[in-house]
Amino acid sequence: MGKEDHLTRQINQLGFVLKKILEKLTGIKSNDGLSERVSEVNFKLKELLDFDLEILDTISDENIIEFLTQKEGFNYSNIELFADILIKIEKEKYTNKALQIYNYVNYITATFSFERDLKIKELMFK
């Protein structure tokens, strides 16, 4: 029981951190702030999840799900938040990885999301 509680706390904590990162990224008004925020995101990823955007760049689009699901604390909700972050950081660079993630979340969840479907369509027809 204690191990499940610990894992639940870690999943919730990761979700909270990812939401905060996304809030910071969406509040950016200029490109100057973007590079500073990306550096901050990179630092947080390295600190909390033991990987950063450079490592992520070496992972193929097809292997992104396997990589993320092996990281402790990622559930479908957190993985979807992570895809949102990737798109906010650099849409062109991370489109395929985000599509893989959104499609994976669609596959594993029983609930249809209009918002997620819209994100997928926007990425596919950019």
Which domain, by its residues, includes 7? 2-124
The rounded distance, in Å, linking the Cα atoms of 10 and 111 is 24
| Alpha-carbon distances, residue 84 vs 67, 88, 91, 97, 123 (angstroms) | 17, 6, 9, 11, 11
pTM of the prediction? 0.78
The count of domains in the chain is 1
Q: What is the mean pLDDT of the chain?
A: 84
Residue 20 has pLDDT above 90, yes or no: no
The arithmetic mean of pLDDT across residues 31-40, rounded, is 69
More confident: 85 or 1: 85
Residue 47 has pLDDT above 60, yes or no: yes
